[in-house]
Structure 1
């Protein structure tokens, strides 16, 4: 921990010690310190950054982290394979990560977190998805996090939709599915350019329905992706968060906010949760495949 952070926590301790100085419990001070270090809620930042090796990335991601204080960061379309991505990750204020390498120069997902905030275990990963179990240490609450970046080739999407459907049938825990899905759900999700392909929209929507996943909408900009062409500009809502009922039953207030586009043509999304239910540690249940 840097000296600045040490002085910060020391100052907070000095201010609060008067409150607990008469408490006889030997764990009072430890509980107080942990209340500073472990947040009560979980904020997740998702960003299709379109390449972590670009010079602008090293400026814009720290800005997002410092501004929005995410506990978990998910980057997609990283375009950099290990071990080069490890060199970049070690410069960031996280001590743990999971990497899904791109296929050639396309795709790639990285999830970053700190072990003092969450205990995260890899379930599995494919070419388009990472599934991880997250235990929020401040509440002992457990959920499944699925980070998604579909292949740009439509013919590869069927395997991803089948994987999500199969997973949902064997799942009995809160589920958060976040990513750039490369799909809209209706005509209102697109402005400009050619009309949407209804057959692809219907396949996507039916997959989410069969998975019992719900899009609760977002606050802020309506569209998350923009491309400017000679004739007109195209806007689409491609990046979104889906939840199942168990998530919404327990995470009472979940809101996602598309942020201002930076060096990518995709807006970052910050997912904020509050009123997390404190509970005994739950066993993560996924029936065997």
Structure 2
């Protein structure tokens, strides 16, 4: 199961919708939780349709702020229990009818109202008997290691957050890549980065998901990065067929000099039958594509690791977008 959470900072922007669709294609999540959609629920149906999600519950924005959405692939797999301006609480049916509780959460941005958000989580926790995952933008940090730049957070606010995490017996799930998930995009000494977005899981259940993986997904249209949790992320996939035999033509190969050479040589050799030639081209390109894609994935992984290192290093400003108030 994959769960994606993102503070999109307004879903009405076409560029934001495009970025969301790209994330869904690249990561294929089963559940999507969005906060700060900044639109009314009745205007979200077109976005859900474009994202090709069967199920959806949207909570109205409050004027030009707030607004929550939970979407899911299969309509019969998710049952929403409760919702408010700060959360959407659901039960997800897994394989073998196993149940897991997922609460999409948006912590109040105003420190003097933060306690109301924690109390809401406490109320949800009173009815939880299943494995429990909470994910979203908590608008809070657990300690000063989750903040760089700006004024230090009041100790009382961090203590309140730690207290509710302990009281609910939740474990903070560290991401496998990256650290900070929000940046204010200012220059010099005014630059601030914080780890506001995260997943929590019932501490007693973490060991039951040995292959679990959480990641930060870097964004360009929001000052928040998205986060994704995959309960089977580090599990080795079974491969029944040789991937070199599974060639799929991509139009970009037509511009590749090496691919052109392989096609030409394969076409000129062997069978004179058209279908035989096509089969030979596919066979030759299958091995080439396997090697090419493996190289590309390695290069992308290296670049992503470098990007994460740069973003999480001190005094670096990466994105130029509106800052969070």
Which bin holds the TM-score, normalised by the shorter protein? 0.7 to 0.9
TM-score, length-scaled by structure 2: 0.68
The residue number in structure 1 matching 2:200 is 242
CA distance in 1, matches of 2:96, 2:226: 27
Q: Does residue 187 in structure 1 map to residue 187 in structure 2?
A: no
- State the Cα distance separating 1:88 from its structure 2 match: 2.1
| TM-aligned CA deviation for residue 246 of structure 1 | 4.4
Higher relative contact order (CA 8 A, sep 6+): 1
**Residues 108 and 117 of structure 2 are in contact (CA less than 8 Å); yes or no, is this contact kept in structure 1?**
no
Hey, what's the Cα distance between the residues in 1 that align with 2:41 and 2:124?
Answer: 27
Q: Is the 8 A contact 1:259 1:270 kept in 2?
A: yes
Partner of 1:155: 112
Distance of 2:10 and 2:144 partners within structure 1 = 29
User: Which stretches in structure 1 are left out of the alignment for 5+ residues?
Assistant: 1-41, 276-289
Equivalent runs, 1:1-289 vs 2, <5 Å: 42-115=1-74, 119-136=77-94, 138-232=95-189, 233-274=191-232
- The offset of 1:249, in angstroms, is 4.2
**Counterpart contact for 2:12–2:39, Cα < 8 Å:** yes
CA RMSD of superposed structures (Å) = 1.8
Displaced runs of 4+ in structure 1, greater than 3 A? Answer: none
Please say which structure displays the higher CA radius of gyration. Answer: 2
* C-alpha deviation, 1:82, in angstroms: 2.1
Gaps of 5+ in 2: 234-325
2:24–2:51 CA contact under 8 A, matched in 1: no
Number of residue pairs the alignment of both structures matches:
233
Partners of 1:82 and 1:69 in 2: how far apart? 24
CA distance in 2, matches of 1:82, 1:162: 25
Higher share in helix: 2
The residue that corresponds to 1:38 in the other structure is none
Deviations along 1:233-272, one digit per CA (max 9) or x if unpaired, are 1110000000003432433322210111221011111111
Larger proportion of strand: 1
1:246, 1:146 → 2: CA distance?
17
Is the 8 Å Cα contact of residues 174 and 245 (structure 1) preserved in structure 2?
no
Q: Deviations over 1:103-161 (max 9, x none)?
A: 22111111111226x6111111122111111112x342201111011222223222221
